[in-house]
Structures are given as structure tokens and as C-alpha cells.
A and B are shown apart, each in its own frame.
Chain A
């Protein structure tokens, strides 16, 4: 198990190194932070002074090695735009994003999984078709369209909810619904497919044939076997908790990590972008690791296979 974990960790580190390098090259070659932060109308001397003071006038490879060495020492750098440490800026925004993404995740799981199971159990009936209709609509409508639509209905026309901002928990309702809807739709479809596949398996027929009540067949035999693909999707969703609300945060003027990322990329504020990417990569890696563990817990056959493979 330890060997398995260490392999995963090494892979995770390599992934993070790749992400940092890739982002550095793309960001440094596609825009000049001095021009973007100070605006193209700033005096050329000011732009030159800014470049010099941040070392942007040095060769890119030198900038890269200097930056990489600093990261290795735990120094994630400073925002060229803000002047503050990038980590401080990002950490400041994380609670706001989690305030959206965690309730949205609960919403996704709370609606998506039961809806998928229900649709599978009522296959080809009206309930199934309606559930899938909403599901398809849920994940095909882009979140910015859904967000603006909700604002139009609940803010502009009905006046029930605020259209944006982060002043109170009420301000979070529409963004959470927007975020949750698409995720719930995806989960519903995956859960339905997984359930349908499992329900067609011989062991389900066997369980039914030996006289088990249908409810027990579903709970004891169908659900655990259908859980694997669903857990994978949920894992991805957990992995995107930190920066998975970029569009929604922009539509609802929600000051979270997503919006910070958009602004930092637009300004080529390297240290901030890299810090966010590191956070995302770390969250993804942790989520994947957790999902791997869960596989073994849900399906003991996988655990046995893994141990056998490792040995």
C-alpha cells in the first residue's frame, strides 16, 4: 500500500511540475505583464521601469529557473499587480469560492444521484424521459446563460434575490443553483447509465430469482456496483472545488478564486496564476487519491487486484 501511495505521490509531483512549467511558458510568451498591468497608455519609461524591477527584462529561461528554485523553497512569489504575496491573495479568496462550490456539490449529489437512480428504475417511462430531458438541458445550457436567465427571473422580474455580489448568504443562492444544476445533470446521466448497466447483469437476475425483495436487490447489489463511475465523477467535482466556478463567479460578481484567476491570467500575473494552478493541481491529486481509496472500499475485488499487482 505504501509503495502504491508513494508511486502516486511521485506522479502527482511530476504532474505539478509539468503544470507549473507549462503555465510559465504559456504566460510568459503570450503577454507582457508590464503592458497589461500598467495599461498600454502608461508612459513607455514606466513600462520599462516595471519590467526591469520585476526582472521581466531577463531571458525567459533565467526567469523560469529563478522562479522554480523559489517555489522549491516554498516561496510562491508575489503578485506583480497587487504587490502582496500570491499565496495570501489566493487564500483570501478560497473561502468565498468554497462557500459556493461546497453547497453546489451537495446540491449536485443530492439531486443528481437520486434522479439518476430514479430514472434508471423507471426506464423508458415518463419519469425517466422527463428526468433525462431536464438532465440534457442542465448540462447543455452554458452556466453563464443559465445564470443570466435565473437573474432575469428571480432578480429582475420577481425581485426575490440579489443579482450578484457577496454581501450575505442570500447572494449565494443563485450562483449555487447555477453551479449545482449542471453538475446534478451530469451526475444524473452517469448514475442512470451505471445503474442500467448493473441492472442488466446476471447477478441482479440471480438475486431477484432467489427471492430477495427488489428494494434489497437495488440497495445491496445494484447500488454498490453502480457507485464506481459515479464516485469517479464526484471525485472530479471535488477536485474542482477550488477553481471550478470561474464563469459563475464572473456572472455573479462573486469575488472568489475563479475571478482572481481570470484577472491574473488577463494581467499575466504569473505568481498568482501559478499559485492557483498549484492549488487546483493539489486538490485534483488529493481527490483522485481519495477516489482510488474509495474504489477499494466500495469494491473489495479492486483492492485485492491492486495488492496483487503491487506484490
Chain B
């Protein structure tokens, strides 16, 4: 029997009074959604959350949480184009794509997204800067930076112009319809509309921000979470945006905290301080999964690890020597020994999500030491030293891979000398002869323009730093950008692969990149086949036990 004292009754009465006075009872207001902490190596590299400045893989991981594009990539499948802030789109002609906007989409400031915001997002104030200008004054570390004003930093303008080299205008057809009009034919318009840096922002929020830097630290988009607090190099706190068009977000507060050391991220996860720990080294996966309360999600992403050649080096001028390099590598051995088989050797610098442009029958050069030796003999290679500029694990397993590669090359007679470097500018330095170096290439949309042309074409890094060039490749790059004949484009891409990977090697693909995220087992969450993390309702569930 329950004994009720006069004191209990008084307490109950007081509680009832409080409920009457302060409105709805507490249980009706309760938000049972969890707060989740994700330990990451770094939130962003550039200390801004504006994708036009933050071009790193780490930045790409968090952006979809608060910014969205008109066309999205399906993060739960194979990155196919799916409706995002646009529900449908169609080609008007070879230069024009028309998109119908999703209705009822709210920005984090409560405004409805309309065609005005879309046009503004691709306009001079946010992307391209004033016509012909935008260089800014020289400051020598001490002056006023563009971020202090509404002027765009020059690198932002340069990025926008690179991604949209011939965008003529974004036309507002009506409140919910826009047209992207290019100056020249472009079959990749849809891909560009869906890529990182094409997210739609609130015109009013951008205009109201005091200066560019303030905007870039707290951009206002339409994503499932809005930015509550950003502490550069420390943490990014997001909170659920309950007016999200895709349904109520499953997490009340999503916090990304910077934990630079992998061991500290793992320890924090195991001690219960973090719910997710990103960028787990492949050799630590088993260590985490030994504990029955945790598991590792993740795997292949749209990024390949490469070894690049500088064909200006006297020993590398003859393509047969570079071809010998490509045949001397047992890629599968590297995948099996250093990655525990958790990644794969891809079919050259391409990905399946290229769709029709993907060449299923293409392959990286076969591991064939005899062929490598034959090529070296034919080329008359006399064993001259070839420098290999190596960074200390900038990429996972980089140093170990570099040492294995060096031994494999040595086994066929290539005299490769490792030179440890601290950063990329030391790797690129022209002060002494360059030979071989590491790189990784991503594709941010589903066309070879996004990778092969972007990185190895005439405006790509490899040619810009003077490592490699090829006249036919350069002609094909220009044609690939403008051609709309899909069969012809496919054939051109094939030819480009032949040039860059076989005939006159610019690089050789080693393996696909895999990333691993350790997490609590009671959280149902699947890593995307890209760097982006998806914390929307369809991909996050707490299995309460």
C-alpha cells in the first residue's frame, strides 16, 4: 500500500501548480534525441565552413550536415545523382539545364528557399566577385584581409571560376524554377550543380553578415543541422534543425571535436567520451572491433592513391622507364599486407559512378617484373638514381607503402632513393631534380573531367607544377570539356587513360582509398562511399537495449 503523507500531497500540489503556471507538462516537451560526439582529426583545414574556401576532404565530411545542393549524390548507394533541393531537372539544350525547386524548404534562419537564393548562390557577390576584379591588395601578413569586408577573398573567386569556367548566368524562371545557362555546351552541368561548393545559401543571411569571415564561420543553409558554435581547431557544434524538409533530424546536438591523435580518438571512443571516431588507421580496425561494444564502418571512397612521375628528370624522360615503374608494383600485395584486404586495386583513374563513361575493361598495368626489366633494358637505363619525395604518412600507410614500392622498384633494377619531406611545397620544389612522388585524386562528380582532366589536364596540378605534359592529352581535355557526343566522349576518355597510364605515364594508380569510422555498436549508421558523413534520419538510429 502506498502511504501518502501531507508533505507528499503538498509536493504534488506544488508540482501541479508549476505545470499550470509554466505551460505544457515537461514530458510533452522532452526531446529524447541523443547528443552525439564525433572525434575527428580536424574539422576544417582553412578555419572556415564556406565550401568555396574549404576544399579539403575533412571539410567535405561535415558540409552535408548543414549545406545542401540542388542535386545530391546518393550517399547510401553509389553516389548516383538524386533530387536534393531540386525535385526534378531537364536539359533545355546543350548549354542549359532547368531545375524545379523543392517547395517548402526552409533555411536555418526561417526563410523559405526560392529561386532568388539559388541565383544569388551562383552570383558575383557570393562566388565570382566583381567582373574582372577581385584580386585584392597585397598585404604581406599585416594588412586588412578581404574577410574583414564583404569582399570575397581572391582564392574563393579563383575556386569558383575553376569550378564554373563558363557559367553564363542562373536565370530565374519563376519563384521555384531556375535555369543554369552555360556559355558553351557542357554535358557535366548536372554534375557541377551537385558538387561540393555548389550548395545553396540564404541570400538574406549572406547579406546581413557583417563581413565575409563572419559569414564563412556560420553559413546559413538548408541542411538537417544548423551551426550553433564553431571554434576553429577545437570543435563544431550543430543542433537539429527541426524544420528540415527531409524530416526531423535524429540527433539533438551533433558535435565534431578535434582530436588530432588517432590513439586519442580511439581511447576516447572506448572510454565512452565519443560516440564516433573518424579516420581510424587500417591497422587499428581489429583493435577496435575486439571490443564487443564497438564496430567499424566504412570502406572505399571516391579517391585513388597514385604515384606521379616528373618526366623532366633525365632518367624518366623515356616513357619506357616510367612504364617499368608501373609494371614493377604488386598492388594487390600492398592492399593485402597494409590494408588487410580492406581496399582494392581499381580500374585506373576512374570510378563506377561515372556510369556510361566508366570503362569496365580497363585495368592498371599488370604486375610483371619481367616486362619491367625488359622495358628498362630497351630504354638503356643504367641505374641512375631517381629521387622519391615522400611525406611522413600524409596519406594512411604512406611511408610503409613508399618503402615497399622502393623495394619493388629496386627488384627490377630501378635505383629509387627516398627523400623524406615535410610538406607538399617541399615535394614540389624545383630546386633539385624531382622524380617520383605520391598523390591522391578524387572525383567530386561523375565525369572524368572531375578527375583526369581536372588534375592531369592542362590546368591540372601536375601540368601546372611542370611535372608532365602531353600535347594529345591537352587537346583531348579541351574536347572532352565541350563535346556533347557521349560515345565520342567515352572514346576520348579511353584514349586519355591510355596516354596517362600506359603510353606516356603521368602517374600510376596504386589502390583505392578506404576510410574507417569506429563507432558504438548500438548506433545503426552506415558510412557513405565518400568522405561525407550522413546523419539524416534514414541513416541514424539508436538501438536502445
Distance A45 CA – B464 CA, assembled complex (angstroms) = 9
B273 touches A164 (CB 8 A): yes
Chain A 131-160 near chain B by CB (<8 Å), digits 1 or 0: 000000000000000001001100110010
Distance A31 CA – B423 CA, assembled complex (angstroms) = 7
Residue A200, interface by CB 8 Å: no
Residues of B contacting A268 in the complex (Cβ-Cβ under 8 angstroms): 423
> Shortest distance in angstroms between A150's beta carbon and chain B's nearest beta carbon?
10
Least CB separation from A253: chain B residue: B259
B142 touches A78 (CB 8 A): yes
CB contact under 8 A between A82 and B232, given known A44-B459, A58-B138: yes
A163 touches B268 (CB 8 A): yes
Residue B433, interface by CB 8 Å: no
Q: Which of A63-71, A97-105, A206-214, A228-236 contacts B (4 or more CB under 8 A)?
A: A63-71
Least CB separation from B143: chain A residue: A78
Distance A43 CA – B140 CA, assembled complex (angstroms) = 22
Chain A 10-47 near chain B by CB (<8 Å), digits 1 or 0: 00000000000000000000111011111111111111
Residue A53, interface by CB 8 Å: yes
Chain B 21-57 near chain A by CB (<8 Å), digits 1 or 0: 0000000000000000001000001111000010110
B273 touches A67 (CB 8 A): no
Distance A46 CA – B257 CA, assembled complex (angstroms) = 28
B423 touches A164 (CB 8 A): no
CB contact under 8 A between A67 and B141, given known A43-B159, A156-B270, A165-B257: yes
Distance A80 CA – B153 CA, assembled complex (angstroms) = 11
A53 touches B213 (CB 8 A): no
Q: Using a Cβ–Cβ cut-off of 8 Å, how many residues does chain B contribute to the interface with A?
A: 62
> Shortest distance in angstroms between B513's beta carbon and chain A's nearest beta carbon?
13
Residue B478, interface by CB 8 Å: no
> Shortest distance in angstroms between A182's beta carbon and chain B's nearest beta carbon?
18
Residue B161, interface by CB 8 Å: yes
Residue B424, interface by CB 8 Å: yes
Q: Which of B98-106, B144-152, B514-522, B534-542 contacts A (4 or more CB under 8 A)?
A: B144-152
Q: Which of B142, B259, B273, B424 has the most CB of A within 10 A?
A: B142
Distance A82 CA – B453 CA, assembled complex (angstroms) = 31
B45 touches A164 (CB 8 A): no
Contact among A31, A49, A83 for B145, CB-based, below 8 A: A83
Distance A46 CA – B152 CA, assembled complex (angstroms) = 12
Residues of B contacting A32 in the complex (Cβ-Cβ under 8 angstroms): 424-425
Contact among B47, B55, B142, B148 for A39, CB-based, below 8 A: B55
Distance A260 CA – B258 CA, assembled complex (angstroms) = 12
A45 touches B162 (CB 8 A): yes
Q: Using a Cβ–Cβ cut-off of 8 Å, how many residues does chain A contribute to the interface with B?
A: 63
CB contact under 8 A between A48 and B231, given known A58-B140, A66-B142, A251-B264: no
Distance A1 CA – B299 CA, assembled complex (angstroms) = 69
Residues 276-325 of B contacting A (Cβ, < 8 Å): none
B46 touches A81 (CB 8 A): yes
B158 touches A43 (CB 8 A): yes
Residues 276-294 of A contacting B (Cβ, < 8 Å): none
Residue A55, interface by CB 8 Å: yes
A255 touches B272 (CB 8 A): no
Residues of B contacting A296 in the complex (Cβ-Cβ under 8 angstroms): none
> Shortest distance in angstroms between A99's beta carbon and chain B's nearest beta carbon?
14
The total of interchain contacts (Cβ-Cβ below 8 angstroms) comes to 185
Distance A237 CA – B308 CA, assembled complex (angstroms) = 47
Distance A34 CA – B158 CA, assembled complex (angstroms) = 13
> Shortest distance in angstroms between A170's beta carbon and chain B's nearest beta carbon?
11
B162 touches A43 (CB 8 A): yes
Q: Which of A47, A49, A50, A159 has the most CB of B within 10 A?
A: A49
Residue A240, interface by CB 8 Å: no
Distance A49 CA – B47 CA, assembled complex (angstroms) = 18
Residues of B contacting A263 in the complex (Cβ-Cβ under 8 angstroms): 233
Contact among A31, A37, A77, A164 for B142, CB-based, below 8 A: A77
Contact among B147, B148, B155, B465 for A46, CB-based, below 8 A: B155
B158 touches A49 (CB 8 A): yes
Residues of A contacting B258 in the complex (Cβ-Cβ under 8 angstroms): 253, 255
Residues of B contacting A34 in the complex (Cβ-Cβ under 8 angstroms): 155
B464 touches A44 (CB 8 A): yes
CB contact under 8 A between A41 and B142, given known A148-B267, A163-B267, A165-B273: no
A46 touches B145 (CB 8 A): no
Distance A52 CA – B136 CA, assembled complex (angstroms) = 9
Residue B426, interface by CB 8 Å: yes
A252 touches B264 (CB 8 A): yes
Distance A268 CA – B148 CA, assembled complex (angstroms) = 21
A155 touches B273 (CB 8 A): yes
Residue A75, interface by CB 8 Å: yes
Residue A271, interface by CB 8 Å: yes
A53 touches B159 (CB 8 A): no
Residue B385, interface by CB 8 Å: no
Q: Which of A30, A43, A252 has the most CB of B within 10 A?
A: A43
Q: Which of B137, B158, B257 has the most CB of A within 10 A?
A: B158
Chain B 156-172 near chain A by CB (<8 Å), digits 1 or 0: 11110111000000000
Distance A53 CA – B264 CA, assembled complex (angstroms) = 37
A159 touches B155 (CB 8 A): no
Residue B207, interface by CB 8 Å: no
Chain A 174-213 near chain B by CB (<8 Å), digits 1 or 0: 0000000000000000000000000000000000000000
> Shortest distance in angstroms between B160's beta carbon and chain A's nearest beta carbon?
9
Residues of A contacting B461 in the complex (Cβ-Cβ under 8 angstroms): 40-41, 44
Contact among A36, A54, A259, A260 for B424, CB-based, below 8 A: A36
A42 touches B257 (CB 8 A): no
Residue A225, interface by CB 8 Å: no
Least CB separation from A160: chain B residue: B271
Residues of A contacting B271 in the complex (Cβ-Cβ under 8 angstroms): 151, 155-156, 159, 162-163
Residue A270, interface by CB 8 Å: yes
B139 touches A30 (CB 8 A): no
A48 touches B268 (CB 8 A): no
Residue B135, interface by CB 8 Å: yes
Residues of A contacting B147 in the complex (Cβ-Cβ under 8 angstroms): 83
Chain B 444-478 near chain A by CB (<8 Å), digits 1 or 0: 00000000000000011100110000000000000
Least CB separation from A63: chain B residue: B140
> Shortest distance in angstroms between B390's beta carbon and chain A's nearest beta carbon?
14
Residues of B contacting A151 in the complex (Cβ-Cβ under 8 angstroms): 264, 267, 271
Distance A252 CA – B55 CA, assembled complex (angstroms) = 27
Query: B residues engaging A (CB < 8 A)?
Result: 39, 45-48, 53, 55-56, 135-143, 145-148, 153-159, 161-163, 213, 231-234, 257-261, 263-264, 267-268, 270-273, 422-426, 428, 439, 442, 459-461, 464-465
8 extra A-B contacts, CB within 8 A, seeds A44-B460, A163-B273: A38-B45, A46-B162, A47-B155, A48-B158, A53-B135, A78-B139, A83-B48, A271-B142
10 CB < 8 A contacts A-B: A30-B423, A38-B53, A41-B442, A45-B459, A46-B159, A54-B140, A70-B141, A78-B141, A151-B271, A253-B268
A-B pairs, 3 with minimum CB distance: A32-B425, A55-B140, A49-B154
